[in-house]
Amino acid sequence: MKTIKKRQKTLEVWKKKIASFFWLDDCAGGISIRERKWKREILCVLHRDGSYMLPKWQVKRWESFADAALREFREETGIQNVALWEQIATIRDRIRRKKILFFSMKHGETMTNIRDEAIMWVELEKSPQKMKHESERKFIEKYLL
């Protein structure tokens, strides 16, 4: 009986290891940073649960990563007059099994909130502690600070 349980446990561990090599979703998102007096701020989405996230979501089958980043940035922030500037980085979230490409965005329009989430400028140095996902924390610390 004990050997069967050990085998089942070993099988579950190997299933998780193998599954971590296959990515379920491709995602794209946009980053907007502004300079304010003595600090830099990043545009974040505040969800109902009180956590911050960067504007991003899934790439649809028929669109490129750049098109998806523009679409998601427009949908989540409400800023329609936005242009893609450059690709910043590709990160892999092993826990949620996602590959995420982040692009920097340029815009000149004020924000209009079109969804039920609040859009906020958060001080860049303090933002990693406020992010919901570990992959976004690491991304900000590695590429933006």
What CATH number should be reported for the domain holding residue 134? 3.90.79.10
How far is 42 from 126, CA to CA, in rounded Å? 10
How far is 109 from 50, CA to CA, in rounded Å? 26
Q: What is the pTM of this model?
A: 0.72
Task: Count how many domains the chain has.
Answer: 1
- Does residue 13 sit within a domain? no
- Does residue 14 sit within a domain? no
Helix and strand element counts for the chain (H, E): 4, 8
pLDDT of residue 114: 47
For residue 49, the enclosing domain spans 23-144
- Does residue 111 sit within a domain? yes
User: Tens-digit pLDDT profile for the chain (145 aa)?
Assistant: 567 777 777 777 666 666 555 556 788 888 888 888 888 888 888 877 777 888 888 888 888 888 888 888 888 888 888 888 888 888 877 776 778 888 988 877 555 544 545 788 888 888 888 888 788 888 888 888 7
Contact 122, 130 (CB under 8 A): yes
How far is 144 from 121, CA to CA, in rounded Å? 15
- Does residue 38 sit within a domain? yes
- Does residue 56 sit within a domain? yes
* Helix, strand or coil, per DSSP, at residue 26: strand
